[in-house]
């Protein structure tokens, strides 16, 4: 059994935010169990963890399989020790209007993006509750509060995670448990997902600005794991606006997104018909390649977030969030 640092489990660790999160924990000397489907991405993530002083454990798993997730948790404890932190971040999606997403596709996104979180959380609770200690972090999204066009399946899954998180948090508080859960609500992040999720859009998919680097998200997730008693953390101005915008101007975001949401999520380039899709199989599998943490939007992505600072410092949060929401609402009102 390995020794030194905390034992951390990260789902979706082969790429994007999960990859950056694993590296950030490893920089502290933690032991990191890496859960994902893609072999190439997992191997590269393990190299990242070793390179910065952490201890990796590669566990190929599809989080939609509850038994497999529980088995991965058991192996983590056998090889690394008792789990201190569990990060749920596994992801897949379909970019398309509701009328162009099949029932099986809706089910698959739900199984990974929502039920995968449930499976991970229950595997963690089964081990943490008897010890009366541990932290569970749900990596959420602005879409947990505000659905957007062309991302119905993903928006619905994030809404479901939010409800699950709130219910679980209340139960843990009722029991006076030493186990805590928190949620990190992310804005648009520069990850490879925009080139590997299933897409039926006519043009190449892109995140809705403002865009942040995955390391910003990773900093928030690690901080949340260290301070899991907070209900949630916000990262990025768009997240704050999403949370408060409809309260400032009810219904305004619906009309605004109806007009702008399609173009805002696509570049001017035509979508390649032969682009990969990770809905059913990983694009970084045995026949694929490692895609890393970053996507193709490095030139446009911010490396810092004032809103994250405000979220981590309670005194500044209320004023900062209110100011951001008011400013955002004013901008949207001018564009009506």
pLDDT digits (tens, 9 = 90+) for 64-114: 999 999 999 999 999 999 999 999 999 999 999 999 999 999 999 999 999
pLDDT of 309 strictly over 70: no
Whole-number percent of the chain with pLDDT over 70 = 86
Cβ count near 305 (within 10 Å): 23
pLDDT at 88: 98
Q: What is the pLDDT, as a whole number, of residue 335?
A: 41
Percent of the chain with pLDDT over 90: 74
**pLDDT value at 298 more than 50:** yes
User: Quick one: pLDDT band at residue 155, thresholds 50, 70, 90?
Assistant: very high
For the cut 50, the answer to whether the pLDDT of residue 327 exceeds it is: no
Active site annotation includes 262: no
Q: Where are the domains of the chain?
A: 7-334
CA angle 41, 43, 46 (to 5 degrees): 110
pLDDT reading at 224 higher than 80:
yes
pLDDT band at 318 (very low <50, low <70, confident <90, very high): very low
List C-alpha distances in Å: 310 to 27, 63, 299, 318, 320. 24, 33, 25, 8, 7
Model confidence pLDDT, tens digit, residues 116-145: 999 999 999 999 999 999 999 999 999 999
Asked if residue 239 has pLDDT above 70, the reply is no
The answer to whether residues 158 and 113 touch, using CB atoms and an 8 Å cutoff, is yes
In this prediction, residues 23-48 reach a mean pLDDT of 97
In this model, does residue 316 exceed pLDDT 90?
A: no
Which CATH number among 3.40.1410.10, 3.40.50.980, 3.30.300.160, 3.40.50.720 corresponds to the domain 7-334?
Answer: 3.40.50.720
- CA proximity to 296, closest of 192, 187, 189, 188: 192
3-state secondary structure 302-320: ECCCHHHHHHHCHHHHHHH
H or E segment and range at residue 133: none
Q: Residue 284: which pLDDT band, with cuts at 50, 70 and 90?
A: confident
Q: Which of 154, 212, 233, 262 is catalytic?
A: 154
The tokens describing 253, both together, are 């975001």
């Amino acid at each position: 059994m390995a020794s030194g640092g905390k034992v951390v489990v990260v789902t979706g660790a082969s790429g994007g935010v999960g990859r950056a999160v694993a590296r950030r924990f490893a920089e502290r000397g933690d032991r990191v169990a890496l859960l994902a489907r893609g072999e190439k991405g997992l191997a590269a993530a393990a190299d990242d963890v070793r390179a910065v002083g952490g201890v990796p454990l590669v566990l190929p798993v599809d989080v939609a399989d509850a038994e497999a997730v529980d088995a991965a948790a058991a192996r983590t404890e056998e090889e690394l020790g008792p789990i201190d932190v569990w990060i749920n971040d596994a992801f897949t999606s379909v970019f398309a209007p509701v009328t162009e997403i099949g029932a099986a596709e809706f089910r698959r996104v739900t199984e990974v993006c929502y039920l995968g979180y449930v499976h991970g959380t229950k595997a963690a609770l089964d081990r943490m509750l008897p010890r009366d200690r541990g932290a569970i972090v749900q990596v959420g999204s602005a879409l947990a509060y505000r659905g957007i066009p062309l991302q119905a399946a993903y928006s619905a899954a994030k809404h479901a995670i939010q409800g699950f998180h709130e219910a679980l948090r209340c139960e843990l508080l009722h029991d006076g448990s030493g186990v805590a859960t928190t949620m990190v609500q992310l804005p648009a992040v520069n990850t490879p997902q925009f080139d590997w999720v299933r897409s039926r859009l006519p043009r190449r998919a892109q995140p809705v600005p403002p865009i942040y680097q995955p390391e910003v998200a990773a900093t928030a997730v690690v901080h949340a794991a260290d301070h899991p008693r907070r209900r949630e953390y916000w990262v990025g101005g768009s997240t704050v606006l999403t949370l408060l915008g409809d309260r400032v101007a009810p219904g305004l975001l619906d009309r605004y997104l109806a007009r702008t949401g399609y173009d805002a999520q696509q570049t001017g380039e035509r979508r390649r018909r032969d682009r990969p899709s990770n809905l059913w199989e990983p694009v970084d599998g045995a026949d694929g390649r490692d895609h890393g943490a970053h996507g193709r939007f490095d030139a446009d992505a911010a490396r810092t977030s004032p809103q994250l600072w405000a979220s981590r410092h309670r005194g500044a949060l209320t004023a900062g969030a209110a100011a951001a929401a008011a400013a955002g609402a004013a901008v949207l009102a001018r564009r009506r």
